[in-house]
Amino acid sequence: MVFFFKSKKRKEAEFMAPQWIKQINESANLVNNTKNPDTFFSRYEFMISKVKDLISAQKYLRFKGDKPIDMLKQINDKKIYTINDFIDRYYNDIVNQINKLKTEKAKQKRVDKFYSSLIPYFDQMEQENIDKIKELHTNLKNNNALESKENVNLPEKDPK
């Protein structure tokens, strides 16, 4: 009876593993390219769950290259850098959006969106990531404020 159970598990693993690998690769591509916080964090978590599925099937299969447990270690080791890369992409996208806006009110809303859209994911980040977000948000606010001051008509100096 145990032999049948292992055989069934092996067949399931052989069937599912290629699908999980495809999902991991698709998720990695999205994680490395998206500018959307919801997409980034949902696919990051999904990618980890599929790697864990592969780990559970590892005893039934042989893998070429990295073993799933090594993949998970690499993902965990690079977590701060992966999230920081996303934050940079998102920040640059927000800056581009702000530069296209006309009104100060719209610009300020976009600045606030940068920070508020990332708050729900603070529990999935390391402190270094959160500090980076706060610093970039402050930069956005200050730059936006500077742009507003530049647009204000200052009284001309009296030529003496």
User: Within a domain: residue 25?
Assistant: yes
User: Within a domain: residue 141?
Assistant: yes
Say what the pTM is. 0.82
Would residue 42 be called left, alpha or beta, if left means φ above 0 and alpha means ψ between -120 and 50 degrees? alpha
User: Within a domain: residue 159?
Assistant: no
Share of the chain above pLDDT 90, in %: 69
Residue 59 φ then ψ, to 5°: -70, -15
Together in a domain, 111 and 53: no
User: Within a domain: residue 160?
Assistant: no
Together in a domain, 73 and 95: no
**C-alpha distance across the termini of the chain, in Å:** 102
Residues 6 or more apart from 13 whose CB is under 8 A from it? 57, 60, 61
Together in a domain, 37 and 65: yes
Together in a domain, 33 and 57: yes
User: Within a domain: residue 38?
Assistant: yes
**H helices then E strands: how many in the chain?**
6, 0
Question: pLDDT tens digits for 51-107?
Answer: 999 999 888 888 888 899 999 999 999 999 999 999 999 999 999 999 999 999 999
Together in a domain, 109 and 142: yes
Together in a domain, 91 and 66: no
Alpha carbon distance 51, 57 (integer Å): 10
Range of the domain at 38: 12-77
Together in a domain, 19 and 65: yes
Together in a domain, 94 and 48: no
Alpha carbon distance 40, 116 (integer Å): 15
